[in-house]
Structure 1
Amino acid sequence: MITSVTKDAEGVVTTHDESRHGLENGDKVTFNEVEGMTELNKCEPRTVTVLGPYTFSIGDTTGLKDYVRGGYAIQVKVPKTVNFKSLKESLASPEFVLSDFAKMERPTQLHIAFQALHLFVERHRRHPNSWSESDATEFRKIVGEIASENKLEIQIDENLVKMFSFLSRGNVCPLNAVIGGTAAQELMKACSGKFNPIYQWLYFDALECLPLDPNEYPKEEECQPTGSRYDSQIAIFGQQFQDKLANQKYFLVGAGAIGCELLKNFAMIGLAAGHNGCIWITDMDIIERSNLNRQFLFRPADVGKAKSVTAQSAVKRMNQSVNIVAQQNRVGAETEQQYDDAFFERLDGVANALDNVDARVYMDRRCVFYRKPLLESGTLGTKGNVQVVLPFLTESYSSSHDPPEKSIPICTLKNFPNAIEHTLQWARDDFEGIFTISPENARQYLTDPKFVERTLKMPGNESIVTLDSVKRVLVDDRPHDFNDCISWARVYFEEQYQYDDAFFERLDGVANALDNVDARVYMDRRCVFYRKPLLESGTLGNVQVVLPFLTESYSSSHDPPEKSIPICTLKNFPNAIEHTLQWARDDFEGIFTISPENARQYLTDPKFVERTLKMPGNESIVTLDSVKRVLVDDRPHDFNDCISWARVYFEEQYVNQIKQLLFNFAPDSVTNSGVPFWSGPKRCPHPLKYDANNETHLDYVYAAANLKAYVYNIPQNRDRNAVKDFVSKITVKEFTPKSGVKIAINDADLSADGGGGVSDLDRGVQLQKEIPAPNALGVDFEIKPVDFEKDDDSNFHMDFIVAASNLRADNYHIEPADRHKSKLIAGRIIPAIATTTALVSGLVGLELYKIVAGHKKFESYKNGFVNLALPFFGFSEPMPAPKNKYYDHEWTIWDRFEVQGELTLREFIKYFADEHKLEITMLSQNVSMLYSFFMAKEKREERMDLKMSEIVRRVSKNKIEPWVKSLVFELCCNDVNGEDVEVPYVRYTLPD
């Protein structure tokens, strides 16, 4: 998204602070949606000269109109012709792609070695024998012959040539996976013409897997064939290493794309195939159809089955000897009973195959705590990375982990979408709200006598929202036939769719309390410009002070983290298709999943109301409101009611809401600073007018009505013409915008408006009266919440998401997305291809060899980053764990104080004073402050003679579970001079 284009001999384009443009010199761009300088729209690609992370020039713009606002810069990939040398020419004069910049001379040496190998095989009809000195001597002579014959003036690497001969008979699965994944990607490039091919030779080796000390190399007799399936691996590492590999105990977290590839490699190399070996695999997901193209252990018949269990069966078919245990647990605090001290302490290592940062960070922390090696990897399309984490040697994953995953602010989704992603998320949310959440609320209301009581205890306005959703499902929106469903869909369609120099110069400083990156970066730049101190903080636990002429700025030390999409953006100000898709997904969940589930619980759970009323804030009101919508307001009686509801809902979403938004913020409105309100990422919307001949309009009503019918167990109607005819007979009331309606323009406004109060209590009581008793709805009445499934094209789920998102996109003049792209975004499918996952899993396997072999030096290990599209291969030694120090004691994240309980707080403090010369000033456990110097004297003295575990129980108000064998304490300490010192955490072992 661009914010300005200068009219100059070298026109400068400035992009929005939302994200860096990511372009490089020589890239080509075109534009669309530019206002004013319209000549740029769909222009011939212009060459980019990068001026900064948010600016670039595009050549002469002096002859163009003046830029007004808006627009997007779109990178254009220009085809190019690559000419290759013939095999004969390139053998004599090779061009290499470096796979490791630490091995600059290695490709040339290997180029000669492979030619020598072919000649050796031609002469002896066999490969050199494993670790044979005599064959290595013969092989070296052949290398010399080739070098002389080709008049190569290079210094032969004697050790490399010798190792090449020793190992040429061997064959290991991880290396095959690396080469196979790379070669397969090259094949796809040749077929598709996409991406840059390898030019022309790529050599890859992993000699680091062998011991650094030659005295530790296996002997020739240890590497002879025995008729085992592992003979080719034994030929390299020896039988002793194979036995060690077979008795490893590993925990694999995730059975997706990388997990499947890792399991295949583990089976092929014989990991955990011995009597004492075991692989534990956990993944809570089930197999979806979209998984099949890249998660190769699964077949069409496996769709709907547990990933971990199916993967276990596939591994056993590959290698019956592998001991593998399949589990379906989420890794996190809630499963620490299963994955406790005893579980982790018997492991030799952990391999992550996860698709989210939170789970990765959690497993990283567990590995640091239990001091276990961690193999971390990930892919994104043609990109892949591998990181090895080693106790007492390297930094952890969390020391420099990936940025948090991007989400969409609510205000963007709701009112200010600006990309198709926004409309898709909005459509998904709408789906969930209509067909899942509200029906579930209504179902709970019907089945659970205590649903209302529980709902009214929800925090804030959640109880009102929940009860209202029940009323909509059971009363307001309830259809009686399919025509009602069409009518609802048609109506719902309509309803959806001065801080200047003088100010800054009088300031003494600025304090940021912001929830989005672009505002933080903007304020940071203003403070740098006006040389004002800035106090920056965030609720994820960071505080930064920025001082003029003294410190770096907020923006200078790192790329701004990817920001989430504000709720207000989703709700009112979408500007990308991602926003509309997220909005659609949320709407789907709200309508068809969450509300129906609330209603279902109300109907089936006698304690639902009681439980709901205990919810924090306004949650109880929200929940009860959703039950009321399902059971009262929106309840259909036949399919016609479903159509009517869908038509009305169309009106609400795409007409009425937009009219109200434009009433509050007219197209020509300006802010207090005189800037047009509808500028930057805020796109000015327009209300839609329902048109039965518009396929997207009809798609929406048709899908919404059928989903509504599913929730209420009403027979669906797949006759589009019947729906179209019935909709045409529905009369929708004209909407008139109201004064006094508040619309949040950012998430801070939204949060400020979300509190509870006496009105919520009154609303909760009123909702309980309006929701019918479960037994009043009939014995056969049933609510079925919708569980979103993107891969079934017959269930109307993606039909609704695509239509809802693209209608939202139409509201906000956003380019719509086809079904494929919509499924990718709304289905949250992470781009993954088999070539990259195969390569990455191979790199993980090579690092696993090193860990099993017990390598202790940095130079043995490799973190890797690859991009097969370029192609690019980057390898580096892992970063060492950062060192801290108190007195003369150096420590890293792998160190800790070990304290054997049970001690009183007084004894605990004295122990650190006597043994470590440290004065404890603060002591905490998780989020509970157990002791501090500023604590009230009475409270402090009260705790001094209590056992540490008892203080934890009292302060946290949680019991210590029987499986917990130790507690973790964090300390703030002073040294003997009264200076603050950083110290490791404490592992406090509880008595048996």
Structure 2
Amino acid sequence: MYDKTMDESLYSRQIHAIGKDAMKKITEASVCIVGMRGLGLEIAKCLILSGISKLGLCDDKFVTQDELSVNYYANKSDLYIKLRVDTVYEELCNLNSNVKIEKHTDKFRYSYLDNYSIVVLTDIDLITAIPINDYCRKKGIKFLYACTNGLYGFIFSDYGDNYSVSETNSQNPKSGIIVKTTDKIIETDKPHKLFVNDKIRILSEPPIETYITQVHDMCHFSVKDDVNVSACRFIELKQGHTYNFKSLMESYRCPEFVEIDLCEFDKVPSLHEFTIALSCFIHKYKRMPNQFSETDIAELVKFCSFNANIEIIKKLASTCNGNIMPVVSIIGGIIAQQVLNACANKCQPIMQWMYYDALILLQEKCNKIDNMSRYFGQEIVFGNEFQKKLKDTTVFVVGSGAIGCEHLKNFSMMGVGNIIVTDMDRIEKSNLSRQFLFRNSDIGKFKSEVARDAILKMNNEISVDAHLNKVCNETINIYNNKFFDKLTCVANALDNIEARQFVDRLCVENTKPLLESGTLGTQGNVQTIIPFLTMNYGSHSGSEEDSVPVCTLKNFPYEPEHAMQWARDLFEGMFTKAPSNYNKSLASDLNNLETTTLAEIYDDLKFLTSKTFHAYKDCVLFSWNKWHELFSFAIENLLEQFPINKKNDDGTPFWNGSKKCPKVLKFDVNNKIHVDFVFYMSKLLAQMLDITVKSSYDAVKAFLGKLTIPKNTMLKSESTEEKIYDRQMLINEIEKMKKHKLVMTPLIFEKDDETNYHMDFITSASNMRCENYNIPQSDKFKTTGVVGKIIPALASTTTVVSGLVAIELYKVVMGFNDISKFRDSWLDLGSSFITFTEPHGVKIKKVNGLELSIWHKQKFNDVKLKDLIKFFEDKEFDVCAITNGNKTIYQNFGTVNNEKKERFMSQFKDDPEDDVLTINVICENEIIPCEIRFV
């Protein structure tokens, strides 16, 4: 049974990335993959997780030894006796029961393709692929073709003539506030991020649609048409585009490339020459070339044109029989997103060839190969000795979510011998659409433990240790220098900047490489951090998010997000903080509490005890009054303080630019949003007070229609000014209110529970606020994304990003010490854009005879604090303070404890077992990292 309805709870992160319309088209799409080696499997995994309607798997070949390095669902017992499709079929079916998967294991027939809207050819030579492409063009079937051979891979796309997309990228439309206009020049309140030829709609009366003709700076642009507006919004209008594709036969002779590596852009033509030469060789000799045969390599060279780089051709020829997981992951993820874009008729496609290679990894000479190893496909490329290095490698994976699952898969297929993974989170339903190691039956279990078990099932030749810890100050005794000493590398798989910065700090302190990565919908990035070569993560990252000023949220909102945050704060104040403070007042001696705490408790108890709650009707009445207080009376008071015609000191209107003048609302029982607020607030009050709810929505609506509008009893200053309270008055009043002896259960916000009404209330409150200020309203889904801080995510993007990380891990294990061989990456699969750049080099300087950088530590044995200070003072440094993490060991202002300066540094250790103390000596113009070792 295949359910065709869209499961928003399962696909929520994907829908936030691509939109509901695109998701609906994806759930109706049918795709056939021809060729089920590692690349076909990787594409299938991503498409199944994404929720397409039907997937065909077409392959009549058996699993071979070289495929075990890229087929994570195969093992040695499957070799040469089990068909590739049969090997992976059951595991793929378990990924998503909503996807119908069909097997085609007979000899390939063109008619297999007729029932699919998109066909993907994998690991098939060019000459064989051409007639299949011709067939698809005749049938109107979108066609994608990809191969991976050792250290390189390519993608080709052909969607026929007149292929139209509704928009050329998957990013949300840009929007902002127009402050003023002068001679077709528009000034915005914040950076507009628009480009020439972008189309915008100005939400004036009537609306105006126009094009950008010139961008002057971040906050000024010119438009085509005359406009004379201010204090109104603009929004970008996404524009479509039509593409015309060449056939494979025509395109391979006259190719158009998407170039991705800015450091080696001249390599692509030679990669294309090799693709053609390899196909010619296969068709002439009916086999792949022998990597150890000089004759075969020379024959391949003959098939190339005189323009080809012969050294590149020889390197490709010597490795093309290999299979390495990272390259399969990169190409597989890219082509999977191309399929999804084609399903949705969105985003810029690859026009028409994209090549990727990692030839930089190739060693001068490949040593012997173990043809019985599960890593045989990888050893063809790197040899047996390097495989032994990987076996002795220990990688710490921080996080086992979407990127973490991909890291674990890639590292295990590479044969990384020791993997430590930590994650404190449990599995939720929404994880299943991109975290492929988890199943429905795993919901509620710890991610790291389930991931460990899944990986060991894929490869039991490695060690995986699962932790349930957050890497933070509280676990520093676990993730100490002894722990880091045994690591080769750290791979972050985190979703917030604060956690990334903390791990980055530990890696710098312990001089360990860090492979940093992240995704946001179709976008992704990789940062390679190598001791003594590159800058660290903390050198680049900023704050996680800009906070909105309190005055904006309270009185002057102008963005939908402002209203959403206000509504989220309203929920927190009324249903979490207020009952918590009430319970706190019952359990505390009020005389021991700070005045500010007493004032907070008083305000909350005043709200909770202002009415008597006996039945659900009381909750409805309270919510009715609260509606008028928030959306009518508070606005009346604000407009009395700041009238519509108020002027600033310079004579300009007060209500101008981003200050939107609000309007007082009158309750309308026929307005669903008005009734929603009262209904959902009353529901939450009843939950909090443990009151039984018997009335339906319609009954509440009918009841509200009979009520009389209350009078405004709010103090005129209550909505805009801070209150000042007398301490003893607060204590006396709280003691009186405690006598109500209410039983209250604080409500803990949970965005993903459809039955708790949390998001229903927040959405209705946010939209009421938007109605006050004439701000565009948002549905529950979008509101959940904002207030729940949901990060849009796609399985395809995480697959690519993790593959790129794994390529950098090879370099770390190989011991590369040349920064030009490492790569940082940035990609947007919605725009078919990928670029690689050399990492930023570390800044090293010499000061007073010392070489200083984030990586260069001054090393000492156990010394007295005074001698450490003297060492730096003798080198003419003015030592201001000495710190260890967040702890201050010494500071030179205030009272200096001479007895403390007589202590040895070993006495400042938090853990007596530590044999290293990492400190920062903070001088007037420098911060000098130091390492104290205790032998």
The TM-score, its normalising length taken from structure 1, stands at: 0.72
The match for 1:464 is 599
CA drift of 1:311 comes to: 2.4
Whether 2:610 is the aligned partner of 1:476: answer yes
- Asked if the contact 1:418–1:681 (Cα under 8 Å) also holds between the matched residues in 2, the reply is yes
Counterpart Cα distance in 2 of 1:187 and 1:407? 38
Instruction: Give the aligned partner of residue 805 of structure 1.
Output: 766
Matches within 5 A, 1:126-525: 126-143=287-304, 147=305, 154-211=306-363, 214=364, 217-219=365-367, 222-226=368-372, 228-272=373-417, 277=418, 279-446=419-586, 449-450=587-588, 452=590, 456-457=593-594, 461-470=596-605, 472-473=607-608, 475-477=609-611, 479-497=613-631
For residue 77 of structure 2, what is the aligned residue in structure 1?
Answer: none
Do residues 22 (structure 1) and 22 (structure 2) align?
Answer: no
Deviation at 1:717, TM superposition (A): 3.7
From 272, 281, 298, give the equivalent of 1:111.
272
1:417-441 deviations in Å (ceiling 9; x for gaps): 1111111111112122222222233
> Could you say what secondary structure the match of 1:690 adopts?
coil
The structure-2 alpha-carbon separation of the partners of 1:741 and 1:797, relative to structure 1 and needing over 3 Å to count, comes to closer
Alpha carbons 2:331, 2:800 under 8 Å: kept: yes
Q: Distance in 2 between matches of 1:923 and 1:53?
A: 41
Equivalent residue in structure 1 for 2:903, among 900, 923, 947? 947
How far apart are the structure 2 equivalents of 1:452 and 1:247?
60
Tell which deviates more after alignment, 422-431 or 134-143. Answer: 134-143
Q: Residues 263-310 of structure 1, C-alpha deviation per residue, up to 9 Å, x if partnerless?
A: 2212322223xxxx2x22222333333333222333333333333233
**Corresponding position: 1:909 with 2:869:** yes
Which range moves more in the overlay, 365-374 or 890-899? 890-899
Residue 221 of structure 2 aligns to a residue in which SS?
A: strand
Compute the displacement of 1:931 (Å).
5.7
CA deviation string 1:934-959 (max 9, x = no partner): x46xx44735753155997xxxxxx9
Deviates more, 1:319-328 or 1:380-389: 319-328
Displacement, 1:240? 2.1
CA contact (8 A) 1:671 1:677 kept: yes
Aligned partners of 1:886 and 1:982 also within 8 Å: no
Give the secondary structure class of the aligned counterpart of 1:786: coil
How far residue 403 of structure 1 moved from its aligned partner, in angstroms, is 4.6
SS for the counterpart of 1:292 is: helix
Aligned CA distance change for structure 1 residues 656 and 197 (closer, same or farther; 3 Å)? same
Is structure 2 residue 894 aligned with structure 1 residue 721?
Answer: no
CA contact under 8 A between 2:199 and 2:209: conserved in structure 1?
no
In structure 2, relative to structure 1, the CA distance for the partners of 1:7 and 1:768 (3 Å cut) is closer
What aligned pairs does 1:921-932 form with structure 2 within 5 A after superposition?
Answer: 921-925=879-883
User: In structure 2, what is the equivalent of residue 48 of structure 1?
Assistant: 213
- 1:386 is paired with a residue whose SS is strand
Structure 2 contact 905–932 (Cα < 8 Å) conserved: no
- Of 772, 791, 795, the residue aligned with 1:830 is 791
**Distance verdict in 2 for CA 1:964–1:463, change over 3 Å:** farther
In the other structure, the counterpart of 1:553 is: none
Equivalent-residue separation in structure 2 for 1:453 and 1:948 (angstroms): 44
Higher relative contact order (CA 8 A, sep 6+): 1
Equivalent residue number for residue 838 of structure 2: 877
Letter in structure 1 aligned against 2:735: K
User: Deviation string for 1:648-676 (max 9, x for gaps)?
Assistant: xxxxxxx2222222222122222233232
Aligned to 2:75: none
Matched-pair contact (CA < 8 Å) for 1:909–1:919: no
The whole-number CA distance in structure 2 between the counterparts of 1:383 and 1:402 is 18
The Cα RMSD (Å) is 2.7
State the Cα deviation string for residues 684-703 of structure 1 (Å, max 9, x = none). Answer: 11222222222112212221
Q: Report the identity percentage.
A: 37
Correspondence for 2:241 among 74, 80, 85: 80
Offset from partner CA, 1:26-66 (integer Å, 9 cap, x none): 2222211x3xxx45x2x3342432122211111241xx5x4
1:469-492 Cα offsets, whole Å, 9 max, x none, are 24544x335522111111121111
The equivalent residue for 1:693 is 670
Q: Partner of 1:535 in structure 2?
A: none
2-side partners of 1:415 and 1:73: how far apart? 22
- Matched to 1:442, the amino acid is Y
CA drift of 1:139 comes to 2.0
Deviations 1:198-227 (A, max 9, x none): 11100110112223xx2xx322xx23521x
1:769 aligned to 2:769?
A: no
Give distance in 1, aligned partners of 2:352 and 2:503: 40
Which amino acid in structure 2 is aligned with residue 27 of structure 1? D
Amino acid at match of 1:490: W
Instruction: Kindly report which structure 2 residues correspond to 1:61-80, keeping only aligned pairs within 5 A, or say none.
Output: 61=226, 66-67=228-229, 69-80=230-241
Change (3 A) 1:469 1:319: farther
Q: Deviations over 1:773-820 (max 9, x none)?
A: 7xx84xxx7533222222222221111111111111111111100122
Equivalent residue runs for 1:655-694 within 5 Å:
655-694=632-671
Amino acid at match of 1:95: E
Provide the residue aligned with 2:282 in structure 1: 121
Contiguous gaps of at least 5 residues in structure 2: 1-175
1:971 corresponds, among 898, 908, 921, to 921
Other structure's SS at 1:129 match: coil
Indicate if the aligned counterparts of 1:4 and 1:14 stay in contact, CA closer than 8 A: yes
TM-superposed deviation, 1:766: 2.2
55, 59, 64: which one aligns with 2:224: 59
Q: Deviations over 1:813-864 (max 9, x none)?
A: 1110012211211221111112211111110111111111211111221111
Q: 1:13 aligns with which of 178, 186, 193?
A: 186
**Which of residues 754, 776, 779 in structure 2 aligns to 1:793?**
754
Distance 2:676 2:879 in 1: 65
Please give the per-residue CA displacement for 1:474-513, whole angstroms capped at 9, x wherever unaligned: x33552211111112111111111xxxxxxxxxxxxxxxx
User: 2:611, 2:403 → 1: CA distance?
Assistant: 45
- Distance, in Å, in 2 between the alignment partners of 1:292 and 1:872 is 27
* Change beyond 3 A, Cα 1:660–1:132: farther
Aligned equivalents of 2:695, 2:222: Cα separation in 1: 54
Tell me how far 1:82 sits from its aligned partner: 0.9
Task: For residue 374 of structure 1, report the CA deviation from its aligned partner.
Answer: 0.1
Change (3 A) 1:948 1:828: same
- 51-60 or 940-949, larger mean C-alpha shift: 940-949
- Given that residues 415 and 462 in structure 2 are in contact (C-alpha distance below 8 angstroms), is that contact kept between their aligned partners in structure 1? yes
Tell me how far 1:895 sits from its aligned partner. Answer: 0.6
Q: 1:29 touches 1:48 (CA, 8 Å); kept in 2?
A: no
Letter in 1 for 2:435: Q
**8 Å Cα contact 1:131-1:167 kept in structure 2:** no
- What code does the residue aligned with 1:900 have? N
Q: Tell me by how many angstroms 1:962 deviates.
A: 4.0
Which residue identity lines up with residue 83 of structure 1 in the other structure? N
Indicate how the Cα distance of structure 1 residues 763 and 141 shifts in structure 2: closer, same or farther if over 3 A, else same. farther
| Equivalent residue pairs, number | 759
1:157 is matched by which residue type in structure 2? N
SS class of match (1:865): strand
**Structure 2 CA distance for aligned equivalents of residues 950 and 673 of structure 1:** 64
Cα distance change, pair 656–296 in 1 and its aligned pair in 2 (3 A): farther
CA distance, structure 1, for counterparts of residue 811 and residue 856 of structure 2: 23
- Checking the alignment, whether the CA contact within 8 Å between 2:637 and 2:719 is kept in structure 1 is no
- Distance across 1 between alignment mates of 2:711 and 2:630: 14
